[in-house]
């Protein structure tokens, strides 16, 4: 299986951005550990701070499933939500922090309704749990 792991704005700063919320492990380091663990599968990675680039990447068809952390786009990007709605593949939304323990505006996801499920608050392990879910 080929899994597209897609991150939205500021997730390229993992490891240095608000470590009390997001931890101190970089996405590159964590991605390496995922690829080492799931060697029989291909994990593609894409991160962008630009909404249109995320949509363009989602519309490519070189993957079997997607794990998306839309970052701030979670709360207002109807364009990404519409794109997810029209992708007929397994999709899981992941949030590193528990969005339901954060500011009120962060507790609403316009993208979640177009995914199979949401993992929130498990730190980076949420990505691992999403992969395990997709493989079952």
Phi-psi map region of 23: left, alpha, beta (phi>0 left; psi -120 to 50 alpha): left
Among 22, 63, 114, 127, the active-site one is 22
Among 75, 76, 95, 114, the active-site one is 95
State whether the Cα torsion 60-66-67-68 is positive or negative.
positive
Spell out a b/e string for 22-58, using b for 16 or more CB atoms within 10 Å of the CB, else e.
bbeeebeebbeebeeebeebebeebbbbebeebbebb
Find where tokens 């997001």 sit.
22
Phi-psi map region of 72: left, alpha, beta (phi>0 left; psi -120 to 50 alpha): alpha
CA distance 12 to 55: 18
95 among known catalytic residues: yes
75 among known catalytic residues: no
Annotated catalytic residues are 22, 95
């Amino acid at each position: 299986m080929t899994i597209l792991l897609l991150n939205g704005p500021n997730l390229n700063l993992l490891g240095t951005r608000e470590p009390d919320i997001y931890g101190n492990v970089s996405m590159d380091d964590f991605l390496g550990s995922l690829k080492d663990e799931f060697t029989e599968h291909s994990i593609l990675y894409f991160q962008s701070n630009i909404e249109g680039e995320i949509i363009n990447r989602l519309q490519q068809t070189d993957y079997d499933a997607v794990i998306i952390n839309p970052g701030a786009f979670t709360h207002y990007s109807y364009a990404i939500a519409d794109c997810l709605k029209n992708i007929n593949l397994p999709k899981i939304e992941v949030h590193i922090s528990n969005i339901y323990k954060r500011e009120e505006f962060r507790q609403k996801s316009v993208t979640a309704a177009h995914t199979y499920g949401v993992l929130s608050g498990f730190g980076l392990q949420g990505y691992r749990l999403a992969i395990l879910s997709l493989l079952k």
